[in-house]
Amino acid sequence: MTTIINRHLHNFNGGPSILPAEVFEEASHAVIDFNNSGLSILEIGHRTALFQAVMDEAKETARLLMNLDDDHEVLFLHGGATTQFMQVPMNILNDNETADYTDTGVWANKAIKEAKLFGGVNIICSSKESNYNFLPKNFTINRGSKYIHLTTNNTIYGTQWHNLNLFYQGGIPIVADMSSDFLSREMDFNRFDIIYAGAQKNAGAAGVNILVINKNILRKVNRQIPSILDYRNHIEAGSLLNTPPVFAVYVAMLTLRWLKNKGGLPVIEKENTEKAGLFYQTLDSYPVFKGNVAPEDRSKMNACFSIQDVSLEKEFMELCKKEGMIGIKGHRLAGGFRVSMYNALPLESVRAITELMKDFGIQKG
């Protein structure tokens, strides 16, 4: 195999985003010859022992990392997180029932829009009026609701729920879109009834969703569900109801394996905390910069900030570009800059951008 890729680029992309160098390497090798089979991963049958081993390891590693109990199933499905916006309510919300939703950004909003196609929606809190620059924590979960839905990390705005107890105390099932902070920190995953995450932010390549489903929440809706959208069929078929996204599942498996070999979630959480700590500490040290969101809600995955004097934005962007920094332009809905620090981003990349911010901050201070 070739040596570890040594790129002189710092990839702060919001998604698809950086993956571990080992994963890129192993995946590229598998495209040529998968596990010394003489076949490319792209040409093996999904019902072969070769691929079954990939699916089994992906599932087992995910279960292990999250410490899941027997009620919870792990699925690898097509369609991206956006498909889950409708697939969740289709599978668990009856027409005459309501679900609670937290409105903390564009993705949450899209989930709300889709849920309304299947049942009632209570929006129990929203920070829309302030362009989602904080997390609205003053809410009451309706005891009569079928479930409460949250977005654990708001990728575009840079907010993240740090106190999940707010949701655990609701006494109703919890559904979470974890696309952009999945497996970035420890939490009690068994407290959730459905977790979904598009793999391309923190857990693999685009093309696959990772889901965790508490089986007990299924079999309770009256409507007919198209076969391919029915979670029960996917559970029964072990994520092999139809041809799965073979390569994307493989890359997710490699990424999960990398995480496990590193020491799992306690280790990655510590690293993520260190990276985010360094970043925000630098951000707060130079008045030329300004964080976009309430400090207590700052995301450890996506740091969103601006430059006080917007006329300096271009200069800062050019500086970053010159130093090989990729993907720091803020989302068009949030403006400014966004530095994404997903699991695979090395500390040295955060060091590099904070050094640059320091120089810029002193110069413009």
Ligand X SMILES: *Cc1c(COP(=O)(O)O)cnc(C)c1O
Residues 250-309 that bind ligand X (CB under 6 A): none
Near ligand X by CB under 6 A: residue from 17, 87, 133, 179:
179
- CB nearer to ligand X: give 198 or 245: 198
- Which residue in the shown chain puts its C-beta closest to ligand X? 80
One residue of 17, 91, 145, 151 binding ligand X per CB under 6 A: 151
Q: Which is nearer to ligand X, 155 or 214 (CB)?
A: 155
Residue placing its CB nearer to ligand X in the complex, 102 or 151 = 151
Q: How far is the CB of 107 from ligand X (least distance, A)?
A: 4
The Cβ of residue 148 has, within 10 Å, a number of other Cβ atoms equal to: 25
Active-site pick, 100, 107, 193, 297: 107
| 138 backbone dihedrals φ, ψ, rounded to 5° | -90, 75
Cβ–Cβ < 8 Å for 176, 218: no
Query: According to the binding rule CB under 6 A, does residue 198 interact with ligand X?
Result: yes
Helical pair 347-364 and 265-285, crossing angle rounded to 10 deg: 10
Per CB under 6 A, 234 contacts ligand X: no
Can you tell me which of 82, 94, 122, 285 binds ligand X, judged by CB under 6 A? 82
DSSP 292-333: SS-GGGB-SSEEEEEESSGGGHHHHHHHHHHTTEES-BPPTT
Position among 65, 81, 148, 183 found at the interface with ligand X (CB under 6 A): 81
C-beta of 11 vs 151, nearer to ligand X: 151
Query: Per the structure block, which two tokens stand in for 170?
Result: 């609701």
| Integer Cα distance of 156 and 15 in angstroms | 10
Asked if 301 and 153 count as a contact pair (C-beta separation under 8 A), the reply is yes
**Only segment of 69-77, 78-86, 235-243, 327-335 that touches ligand X (CB under 6 A):** 78-86
Indicate the SS3 state at residue 238.
coil
DSSP state of 101: E
Contacts for 110 with CB less than 8 Å, ≥ 6 apart? 82, 85
What one-character DSSP code corresponds to residue 291?
E
Choose between 105 and 361: whose C-beta lies nearer to ligand X.
105
| Binding of residue 177 to ligand X (CB under 6 A) | yes
How many residues make contact with ligand X (CB under 6 A)? 12
Judged by beta carbon, residue 155 or residue 282, the one nearer ligand X is 155
Catalytic residue among 177, 181, 230, 297: 177
338 near ligand X (CB under 6 A): no
**Strand segments (E) across 128-260:** 148-151, 153-154, 159-160, 174-177, 194-198, 209-214
81 or 195, CB closer to ligand X? 81
CA angle 91, 245, 151 (to 5 degrees): 45
Taking CB under 6 A as the binding criterion, the range among 66-74, 176-184, 309-317, 319-327 that sits at the site for ligand X is 176-184
Query: Is 270 in the active site?
Result: no
Tokens read off for 324: 């090989």
State the Cα–Cα distance between residues 309 and 134, nearest whole angstrom.
22
Cβ 204 to ligand X shortest distance, Å: 11
Residue 322 annotated in active site: no
Q: Which of 100, 146, 193, 201 is catalytic?
A: 201
Find the shortest distance in angstroms from Cβ 179 to ligand X: 4
Q: Which of 76, 107, 231, 279 binds ligand X (CB under 6 A)?
A: 107
In whole angstroms, the minimum distance from the beta carbon of 172 to ligand X comes to 21
CA distance 195 to 45: 28
149: left (phi over 0), alpha (psi -120 to 50) or beta: beta
Minimal distance in Å, beta carbon 309 to ligand X?
A: 30
The answer to whether residue 161 is catalytic is: no
Residue numbers at the binding site for ligand X (CB under 6 A): 15, 80-82, 107, 151, 155, 177, 179-180, 198, 201
Q: Which residues are catalytic?
A: 107, 177, 201
